Amino acid sequence: MKKIITNGRIILKEQLLDGCDIILEDGLISGIQRAGSMDMTGDISVYDAKGGYIMPGIIDIHSDMIEAYIQPRSTAVMDFEMGLGEAERVLAVCGITTMFHSISMFRDGSWDVKEIRKAPQVKRLAELISGYRHKKRLIRHRYHLRYEIDNLDCYEDVKKMLEDGFVDLLSFMDHSPGQGQYKNLDVYRKHQPGEGKKISDEDFEKLVEREKNKNTVTLDELKVLAETAGKRGISIASHDDDTIEKLELNKELGIKISEFPITLEVAKAASKEGFMTVLGAPNILLGGSHSGNLSAMDAIRENAAGILVSDYYPQALLQSVFYLYQEQGIPLWEAVRYVTINPAKAVGLDRMLGSVEIGKKADLLVVDASGKRPVPEFVFVNGECVAECHYRAAD
C-alpha cells in the first residue's frame, strides 16, 4: 500500500522544499513530487502535515536513558525486555527512530558501577538488542558499548562481544580523576555517590591518588579491540578528550568520533583533524555543560560540533534542533543535520538513513512547530506510522 505525506515543508540536506508530496512504498521513500500530481486511485493512505515540517527520523548514537527503565532504583532491576518496550514508546514520540543504547561497562568495585553496568548485565542487554533486528519493534535499536579502560577483567568479554556482532558502536572511556571529564577535582567529588561526598579531605586525596594510579589496558590491547571493531565495520569513539595529544593517539587507534571534548580548543582541533565531534543536546537547552566543561553552543558557533546526542535526556534532541533554528538563527536544514545525516555518517548508516531522499528508508517525522515547542505529530519507521500525537481542544 502506498502512503503519501502531503501539505508539509520538507527538510532536505541543504534546503526547505515546499509544495511537494512524499510517497512511501515498501518501507522506502519512492517519490518526491509536486503536490496534487500523483494518481490517487488504488489503495493509498494520506497523511496531512498541515503545514508542518517533514524531516528525517532522529538518530541518537549516545544515550543511557535505558538504565532508568531497567534499574530505576539501586536495588530494583526490572525485566530487560519490558524496560526496552517502555523506553521505545517514549523514544518514538520524541522523534527518535534509531537509538544506540549506550551502557558503560564498569569494573566491579568502581564507585559508579551499579548493577546494569556490570559485565553480565551489559552482555545480556547487548544480546537482546541484537535480536531485535529480527523482531517487530517500534524503532530501530542498536547497541553502543562504552568500555572503561580500567576494566581489565572484562577485556576478553569486550573482544568477544565485538566478534559476535553484539556491538554497533564502541567507545573507549577513562573516568579517572585529574583528566577528561574530571580534570576539575571538585566536579569529581560532586559526582561521587552520597557516601563519597561525605569523606574527609584526606580520604578524598587518597581516593584520587588510587584512581590516578590504577592499572588500565595497554595501548596494544586497545589496538586489538580497534582492529576487531574495524574488521566488522564498527565505528569507534573516544570520550572526554581534553588534550591535542589524545587526539593524536585516537588517530593511531583509528578512532573517528570524539565524544564530548572538554574544551573548545580540543573540539576545534578535533573538527579540523576530521573527527566527528559529539556534544549533548541537554547542554544546548541548559546553556552549558552540567559538569562545567565545554558549552555545546560555543562549539556550534565555532563550527566545532558535528553531532548532537541526547546523552541522558531524549526529549532534548528535537527541542535543541528547533532552538538552534528559532533562537539562534541557524538554518533549519543545518540544525537538523546534527541529529540525522551526521550521526548516520559517523556510524555507517547514511546509505539508507539520515536524509529525505528517494530510495532511502522511510524513517520520517512530521513536526508541528507552530507552538512554543516542536511536537512530532506523525513518526514513521520503515514507512510504518508508529506514533501519532494530536493535541485535543481544551475542556
The cell 573538527 sits on which residue?
271
pLDDT of residue 216: 83
In the chain, which stretches have pLDDT less than 70? 109-113, 175-198, 203, 207-209, 211-213, 291
Determine the Cα–Cα distance for residues 96 and 89; give it in Å rounded to an integer.
Answer: 10
Statement to judge: residues 374 and 283 lie in one domain? no
pLDDT of residue 245: 92
pLDDT of residue 315: 97
Statement to judge: residues 253 and 287 lie in one domain? yes
Q: What is the pLDDT of residues 39-66, one digit of tens each?
A: 777 789 999 999 999 999 999 999 999 9
Statement to judge: residues 138 and 247 lie in one domain? yes
Query: How many Cα atoms occupy the beta-carbon half-sphere of 298 within 13 Å?
Result: 16
Statement to judge: residues 194 and 245 lie in one domain? no
The answer as to whether 351 is a domain residue is no
The answer as to whether 360 is a domain residue is yes
Domain that holds residue 199: 177-211
What CATH number should be reported for the domain holding residue 6? Answer: 2.30.40.10
Statement to judge: residues 207 and 339 lie in one domain? no
The answer as to whether 296 is a domain residue is yes
Statement to judge: residues 190 and 286 lie in one domain? no
Statement to judge: residues 202 and 311 lie in one domain? no
Closest CA to 310 of 110, 106, 63, 109: 63
Statement to judge: residues 270 and 129 lie in one domain? yes
Domain boundary among 211, 237, 255: 211
One-letter amino acid at 153 equals D
Q: Give the count of domains, the chain.
A: 3
Domain boundary among 211, 228, 255: 211
Statement to judge: residues 29 and 63 lie in one domain? no
The answer as to whether 395 is a domain residue is no
Statement to judge: residues 360 and 312 lie in one domain? no
Phi, psi of 213 (to 5 degrees): -105, 10
pLDDT of residue 138: 97
The answer as to whether 394 is a domain residue is no
pLDDT of residue 180: 59
The answer as to whether 120 is a domain residue is yes
Q: What is the pLDDT of residues 285-325, one digit of tens each?
A: 999 887 678 999 999 999 999 999 999 999 999 999 999 99
The answer as to whether 378 is a domain residue is yes
Q: What pTM was computed for the model? A: 0.93
284: its cell numbers? 544546548
